[in-house]
């Protein structure tokens, strides 16, 4: 059978990852079967590379993965960066100062290191989920300025009921020069303009020599919208944001019902499911 879709790019949290954590056996088997059949499977996430790398390796994936919305694209086996897009230090410090003035919980990401201006329950939950540990920097704008940090990403953590206001503020304040998005009910993320997941999908497709028409992108949140719109087949999981589901070509099962596996088997492998 001729494979219609040769590249599947999936988000991780809320998409491939189950709500309680980990990747289901059904998703693992489907990815393995797809790769054995000649398909290419790649991860594209807002997470740090060090946070998603172990999952890529546990799946036996080779080639590239995209982190920080695509600000980093690296080779899984060697760790070599093929994209390394950073916010200039002066700009990053200015962004952090504005966020500090609003009293926000802020993270600043520099490669495999990240800084937080608060050590609270939000941070502890994030560290548990992502398997990473923050360096605490109470005056985070000063730390960025003093250390001349050019971060890959700046993040705001907030309660779900505060996300809409934080997202709106960040887009208004920084959206002209930077890309502002949201990846979960308590995260607002800021990266270099042009390094959204749509750009990451284009990079991966070109790297592998796969036309965009032969790609599938799967996600759950607004940060996935650029790649879902650009892919040959844009897919949202049922547990995803309403706006993403409305834009998608297909809505699959939830992340707890092997939604990624369903897409791989139905569209990637052409099975009757």
Please give the average per-residue pLDDT across 66-73, as a whole number: 98
Say if residues 166 and 188 touch (Cβ distance below 8 Å): yes
Say if residues 140 and 115 touch (Cβ distance below 8 Å): yes
Is the model's pLDDT at 124 over the cut of 80? yes
Largest CA distance in the chain: 59
Pair of tokens at residue 263? 């897409």
Distance CA 87, CA 110 (A): 10
Q: Which residues, at least 6 apart from 200, have a Cβ–Cβ distance to it below 8 Å?
A: 9, 44, 66, 69, 70, 73, 227
Is the model's pLDDT at 273 over the cut of 90? no
Say if residues 152 and 107 touch (Cβ distance below 8 Å): no
Please give the average per-residue pLDDT across 80-99, as a whole number: 97
What does pTM read for this prediction?
0.95
Say if residues 157 and 126 touch (Cβ distance below 8 Å): yes
Please give the average per-residue pLDDT across 17-39, as a whole number: 97
Distance CA 248, CA 117 (A): 36
pLDDT, tens digit, 9 for 90 and up, residues 179-227: 999 999 999 999 999 999 999 999 999 999 999 999 999 999 999 999 9
Pair of tokens at residue 221? 């949140």
Please give the average per-residue pLDDT across 228-249, as a whole number: 98
Q: Which sequence spans correspond to the domains of the chain?
A: 7-84+195-268, 89-192
Q: What is the CATH number of domain 89-192?
A: 3.30.1240.10
Among the CATH numbers 2.60.120.10, 3.40.50.2300, 3.40.50.300, 3.40.50.1000, which is that of 7-84+195-268? Answer: 3.40.50.1000
Q: Do 7-84+195-268 and 89-192 agree at the fold level?
A: no
């Amino acid at each position: 059978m001729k494979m219609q879709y040769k590249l599947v790019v999936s988000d991780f949290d809320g998409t491939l990852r189950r709500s309680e954590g980990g990747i289901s056996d059904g998703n693992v088997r489907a990815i393995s079967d797809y790769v054995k059949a000649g398909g290419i499977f790649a991860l594209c996430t807002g997470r740090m590379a060090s946070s998603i790398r172990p999952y890529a390796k546990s799946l036996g994936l080779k080639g590239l993965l995209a982190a920080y919305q695509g600000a980093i694209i690296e080779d899984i086996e060697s760790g070599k960066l093929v994209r390394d897009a950073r916010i200039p230090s002066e700009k990053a410090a200015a962004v952090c100062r504005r966020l500090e003035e609003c009293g926000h919980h802020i993270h600043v990401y520099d490669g495999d290191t990240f800084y937080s201006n608060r050590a609270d329950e939000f941070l502890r939950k994030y560290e548990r989920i992502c398997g990473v540990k923050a360096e605490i920097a109470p005056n985070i704008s000063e730390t960025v300025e003093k250390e001349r940090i050019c971060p890959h990403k700046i993040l705001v953590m907030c309660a779900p009921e505060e996300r809409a206001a934080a997202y709106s503020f960040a887009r208004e304040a920084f959206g002209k020069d930077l890309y502002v998005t949201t990846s979960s009910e308590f995260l607002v993320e800021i990266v270099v303009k042009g390094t959204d997941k749509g750009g990451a999908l284009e990079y991966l497709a070109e790297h592998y020599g796969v036309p965009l028409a032969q790609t599938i992108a799967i996600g759950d949140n607004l940060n996935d919208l650029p790649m879902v719109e650009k892919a040959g087949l844009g897919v949202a999981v049922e547990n995803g944001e309403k706006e993403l589901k409305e834009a998608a070509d297909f809505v699959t099962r939830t992340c707890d019902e092997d939604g990624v596996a369903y897409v791989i088997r139905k569209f990637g492998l052409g099975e009757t499911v």
